[in-house]
Amino acid sequence: MNLVKNVYELSERFMKDSKHVFLIEAGIENMAKRMIENGKPQYNRSNDKITYKDIVFELVASSVNYCYWYSQHDIRPNGSSSSSMYNILADSFQEYINDEMSFERVIKRFGANLSKERFPLIEERIRHLNQLVENGENFAKAIYLDHNSIDIPLMEMVLSFPGFASDIFLKRASLFFLQLFRRFGWYESDLHSLHVPADYQIPRVLEYYDCIVYEDELDDAIHESIIIVKNSRPECEIRAATILVVKKLCELTKWNVSEVDTYLFMKRDDIEKPFHLTITTDY
């Protein structure tokens, strides 16, 4: 099975007879023109020597990079966010980087620090972290030694770590490889076919720029911060539409999925409308 192809096929099936989310072709074409006029986002990559522990770091981060709020988007104990998670991870990792602490111990420390900061879904986060203990370092070492293609390590990821496999759209698995491109420039050719990590922010931007439109009931629910159930038809259509629109934007702009994702993500602060709320470990 080709996992990326399967994600696209599932997205097409959800959107074939969609009831809650609809694509707007003219809006997608206008967005592509806007992107080309504005230019690709640029990545500031470090010249520091890369080690397998840099890949371990991104693997651990991707395993828990989801849901930072309680009940509504702005209820975040101690300001929990992706940025704060990365900061906590960097602090937790320092002794491991210096070969002064085992991987298993650093995983426990990181989990404890997330608990102390009152991150949401903490039991799920601890479980996903623990899944990495047995084979996380070996997985990272294999990627460090051979990073020519995404297909094999993506399959290995979902076979070895159920937390990554549980999402029908494989968001955090996709994000892991995007992060390796952003930091190290790896997998550039494969990123022209990889699916976007469909989350909260990108559909919000696409809706604002008239690339997608929600039916009235779903639109009202998003405005009123009503929780949309994970794996419900509306939630799956939001994410499926996001994946298909970004695929089209990649084709029209000739950018890879990381560049399109970064461009759209950087537009999020221009928008007042809240993102859809789904309590999930998928994103």
pTM equals 0.95
Distance between CA atoms of residues 160 and 156, nearest Å: 6
Q: What is the pLDDT of residue 46?
A: 83
Q: What angle do CA 155, 157, 159 make, to 5 degrees?
A: 70
Q: What is the mean pLDDT of the chain?
A: 96
Q: What is the pLDDT of residues 1-18, one digit of tens each?
A: 899 999 999 999 999 999
Q: What are the structure tokens assigned to 95, written together?
A: 């002794």
Q: What is the pLDDT of residues 32-43, one digit of tens each?
A: 999 999 999 999
